[in-house]
């Protein structure tokens, strides 16, 4: 029977090692970039829908990168806090 032996070049091994060590950080950066894009689209739609959305925009945030109980990495976009009602 024929024998086959394959070896990856050292440079490719280093690249794979780098990707393995930094995968979580890279995934966090990607989800954060996506969440910021979603936040920007929400702001655009708020400006179209409401005449004075600027007072609400300050409450629209992107959370820090987090890891959930199943190990998935993500960010959330949402409103935090509240806007006090004007006195009548």
For 47, the token pair is: 């400006």
The reported pLDDT for the residue numbered 87 is: 64
23-59 confidence digits (pLDDT tens): 999 999 999 999 999 999 999 998 888 877 777 888 9
- Between CA 71 and CA 73 the distance in angstroms is 6
Mean pLDDT, the chain, rounded, equals 88
Beta bridge partners of 77: 62
62-88 confidence digits (pLDDT tens): 999 999 999 999 999 999 987 777 765
The reported pLDDT for the residue numbered 65 is: 94
- Between CA 61 and CA 31 the distance in angstroms is 14
**pTM, to two decimals:** 0.72
Residue 71: exposure state from Cβ atoms within 10 A (0-12, 13-18, ≥19): exposed
């Amino acid at each position: 029977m024929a024998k086959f032996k394959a070896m990856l070049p050292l440079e490719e091994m280093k690249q794979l090692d780098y990707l393995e060590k930094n995968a979580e950080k890279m995934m966090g950066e990607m989800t954060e970039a996506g969440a910021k894009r979603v936040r920007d689209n929400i702001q655009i739609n708020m400006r179209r829908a409401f005449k004075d959305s600027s007072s609400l925009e300050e409450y629209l945030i992107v959370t820090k990168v987090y890891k959930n109980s199943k190990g998935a990495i993500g960010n959330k976009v949402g409103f935090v806090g509240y806007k006090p009602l004007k006195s009548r």
